[in-house]
Structures are given as C-alpha cells and as structure tokens.
C-alpha cells in the first residue's frame, strides 16, 4: 500500500521501511520548539532526566506569548527560559527585540524546512507543513524528554486528502479556505489524522496562504497539515536553508481515509462565529454585527502579505470611531519590511495601534483583552469561550481583508463593502 507524504517523512525519521496507520513508532527529531509558557515546565521535566541536551542546534526557545513581559510572574517564566538557553548554549534562542511569533519566525529564519520532522510545545507547530515538513504540537513533558533524547513516539496517522481545484478570487485569502474546510469537516473532523493538501489548486495559494492553512490544521483536530513542495516552496527557501533540504512526495497510490473537494473559485469571504472555528458563515448571510475591537496578526495571519492585504484596504480610510484596531507584525523582519513598504504608516494614519511582535491578545494574554459583552473580529485561530478575555466576550475569526473592512465599518463586513 502506498504511503502519504506524512507517512513517508515519518518512515525516514524512524529508520523503518514502511508504516501503516496506527503503527507506534519512535522518530529522530530535526527540531524541537518551546515558548515562554511551555518551556519552563519542559525544562523542569528535562532536569529530572539528568542528561545533557541532545543537540543545542536543534532546540528553539522562543519567548513570544507573554513577552515583552506582561507581569512579574511572566518575567519569571521568561527568565527560566533565558537562563536555560544560556546554560546549554541553545543556538536558536531569541530575545525581545529580535524575537517574533514562533511560527512566523522559524520558517522566516530557515530554522525549519521541507522534509524536516519538528515537534513543538505549542499546538500551532503544525504551521510548518506549509513547507512540506512534518510538524506537530506536543506538551511540555514530551518536549522535555525530546530535549534530552532527540526522539519522540508517534502513532502513524491516516490522512484526509483535501483536493483543491480552481483559483481563488481576489477577495479570498488562505484564511477563507481553511475556515471553509473546518466548517465542512468540523473541529474534530480530522482527529488523529493528517490533512494533506493536493490538486492543481495548491499552485493558486501563495506561501502566506499555505502557512495560514497549515497553521489551523489543529483547529480541525488534525495531527498535521501538509502541502507538497513546489516551485513556490523552492523559491521561498532560496537563501534560507544553507544546508539544503529533503523533498518528500506522497506515493501515487497513497491511501486516504476520505477526500474532501474544495473549488477555490467558488469561495466567499467567511467568518467563524463564537465559540468554535467550525461555526463558519459567509459574510452577507447574516445581519449587522457591531464590533468593539479588531486584531490583525498572530501565527495565523501575522506575515508581510497579511499586512499588505490589510493596508491596501485601510488606505484612505479610518478605523471606525467605536472600534479599537490592533495590528501586530509577526516578526521584527515583517515589522521592518511593513515599515519600508509604508503599511505601518497606513495603519497609524488610519488610527490603528501597532504593536511589537507578541502572541498577546490571541490567547487572552495581554495587549487587547476584552470585557463582558465585547466583540472582536480577529485574524487569530481560536474563538473559544473566554479566549480573548472575559468569558462573555466574543471572537469572530476572519482573514486580514475582512478584519480591515470590519475595522473601518464598525461591523463584520466584506472588503467590497468599503467604498
């Protein structure tokens, strides 16, 4: 039986000839990742094992969630990570001022690449599937053990084939593609499985779209989401990965548990209503929903292209008087490039607050917490109850074009409604 892309990457890292869904295997890891929330408990577990780190060049410690430190306790967490990184000479530790949101930063810096097997103590580690690697989220104990052994166990997943056709209309982003898919299959539709994206439609998605889509594989319950490596991937990696990388392709007779068809040409801008990402509705099919806040950024939509899309809509417009709009570039590089391109000036002229890179509001950490009864359109990835603050506040998930249009009009809106 043929193997999927995911299965073939697992095989290469397990030192076996083949695998089938359900097999339990142990794999060698190319990169292990933790952040300022998940690294401290991982370090505590690591210390119980009493071994040195397996490879200081294959560990990434990225303080991005509560940094710049939001309070005294968070400063304590950041210090644990900093001290550990220094003690063990961790290559990929990034301090405030250089750090970005982990899943924006690692691909940008060439720390993750096609064919690599990455685990991260962060559920959105699945983002790197956009590059054609296998990456998945784990907890802190798995991470602590991985820092000592360089290994982790996996149950080999079955896969759903997400077959893409057509090309997306101008007002559609990767976010609309993914929210539509999650709406179709549900938040546990891919539980214990891979989402493998195939078909001619893949070529119509730029790398930013693919990062957004792979990032939210976890929101369908998936173990990972993965794209084939094509000309766009190779162009993206040019100059980023000096040591080269491995291009893995699915077998022609790979087995998929099911196939889901999406014709990109038919997609419309969507939002996911509270309190699950599967509550997807097409804009225009519901009445006016007034909003109090907009967040543009995160590991899902904090890349340069996302900011360009938002800035193009803000040009010549102001944020609605009743709305606070917070824009968070995903990395210092994204921030700098957005500044050079004039996007930051456009945001500030429109009346947006622009922040240094942080996960901040996405998980209700800081930098945009809501009180009871408030509503936010956000380009982030989760709209669970209380996710961005008070348990009676609401998050509506959308792409950057919808977020910008909504900020201008003070209600959930499609970009074409901005005149």
Q: How far is the CB of 22 from another protein (least distance, A)?
A: 8
Nearer to another protein (CB atom), residue 74 or residue 208: 74
Nearer to another protein (CB atom), residue 125 or residue 293: 125
DSSP structure string for 10-73: HHHHHT-S---TT-EEEEE-SEEEEETTTHHHHHHHHHHHT---S-GGGEEEE--SSTTT-SHH
Task: For residue 327, give the nearest of 368, 355, 293 by alpha carbon.
Answer: 355
Other CB atoms within 10 Å distance of the CB of residue 334: 25
Contact indicator for 127, 211 with CB cutoff of 8 Å: yes
Contact between 122 and another protein per CB under 8 A: yes
Contact between 372 and another protein per CB under 8 A: no
370 SS3 class:
strand
User: Per CB under 8 A, which region of 135-143, 173-181, 305-313, 409-417 contacts another protein?
Assistant: 135-143
Residue 132 to residue 248: CA distance in whole angstroms: 7
What one-character DSSP code corresponds to residue 86?
Answer: H
Options 41, 100, 199, 415; binder of another protein; rule CB under 8 A: 41
Options 365, 399, 400, 415; binder of another protein; rule CB under 8 A: 365
Site for another protein in 287-306 (CB under 8 A): none
Contact between 391 and another protein per CB under 8 A: yes
What one-character DSSP code corresponds to residue 242?
Answer: T
Contact between 140 and another protein per CB under 8 A: yes
DSSP structure string for 155-169: EPPEEEEEEEES---
Contact between 217 and another protein per CB under 8 A: no
Options 3, 29, 31, 187; binder of another protein; rule CB under 8 A: 187
Options 3, 53, 138, 229; binder of another protein; rule CB under 8 A: 138
Give the residue carrying structure tokens 């889509």. 213
Contact indicator for 119, 146 with CB cutoff of 8 Å: yes
Give the residue carrying structure tokens 């102001």. 318
Task: For residue 83, give the nearest of 36, 121, 49 by alpha carbon.
Answer: 36
Contact between 313 and another protein per CB under 8 A: no
Options 271, 276, 370, 397; binder of another protein; rule CB under 8 A: 276
Can you give the binding site for another protein, defined by CB under 8 A?
22, 24, 37-38, 40-41, 44-45, 48-49, 65-66, 70-71, 73-74, 76-77, 120-123, 125, 137-142, 144-145, 148-149, 153, 155, 187-188, 191-192, 218, 221, 223, 276, 363-365, 382, 384-387, 391
């Amino acid at each position: 039986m043929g193997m999927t892309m995911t299965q073939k990457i697992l095989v290469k890292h397990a030192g076996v000839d083949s695998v089938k869904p359900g097999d339990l295997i142990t794999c060698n890891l190319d990169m292990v990742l933790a952040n300022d929330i998940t690294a401290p408990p991982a370090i505590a577990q690591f210390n119980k094992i009493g071994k040195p780190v397996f490879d200081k060049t294959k560990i990434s410690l990225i303080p991005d969630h509560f940094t710049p430190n939001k309070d005294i306790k968070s400063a304590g967490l950041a210090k644990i990570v900093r001290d550990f990184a220094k003690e063990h000479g961790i290559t990929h530790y990034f301090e405030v001022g250089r750090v970005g949101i982990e899943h924006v930063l690692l691909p940008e810096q060439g720390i993750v690449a096609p064919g690599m097997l990455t685990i991260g103590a962060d559920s959105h580690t699945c983002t790197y599937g956009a590059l054609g690697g296998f990456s998945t989220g784990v907890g802190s104990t798995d991470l602590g053990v991985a820092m000592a052994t360089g290994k982790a166990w996996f149950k080999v997943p079955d896969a759903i084939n997400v077959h893409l056709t057509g090309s997306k209309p101008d007002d559609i982003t990767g976010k609309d593609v993914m929210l539509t898919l999650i709406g179709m299959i549900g938040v546990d539709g891919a539980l214990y499985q891979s989402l493998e994206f195939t078909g001619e439609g893949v070529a119509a998605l730029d790398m930013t779209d693919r990062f957004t889509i792979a990032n939210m594989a976890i929101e369908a319950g998936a173990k990972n989401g993965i794209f084939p490596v094509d000309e766009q991937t190779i162009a993206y990696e040019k100059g980023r990965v000096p040591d080269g990388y491995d291009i893995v392709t699915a077998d022609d007779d790979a087995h998929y548990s099911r196939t889901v068809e999406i014709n990109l040409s038919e997609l419309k801008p969507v939002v996911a209503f509270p309190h699950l990402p599967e509550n997807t509705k097409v804009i225009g099919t519901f009445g006016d929903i007034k909003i109090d806040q907009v967040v543009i950024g995160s590991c899902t939509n904090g890349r340069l292209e996302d900011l360009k899309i938002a800035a193009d809509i803000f040009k010549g417009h102001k944020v609605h008087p009743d709305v606070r709009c917070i824009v968070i570039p995903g990395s210092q590089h994204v921030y700098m490039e957005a500044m050079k391109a004039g996007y930051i000036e456009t945001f500030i002229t429109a009346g947006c607050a622009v922040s240094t890179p942080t996960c901040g509001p996405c998980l209700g950490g800081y930098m945009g917490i809501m009180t009871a009864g408030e509503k936010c359109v956000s380009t982030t990835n989760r709209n669970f109850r209380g996710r961005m603050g008070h348990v009676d506040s609401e998050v509506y998930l959308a792409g950057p074009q919808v977020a910008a249009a909504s900020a201008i009009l003070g209600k959930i809106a499609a970009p074409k409604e901005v005149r």
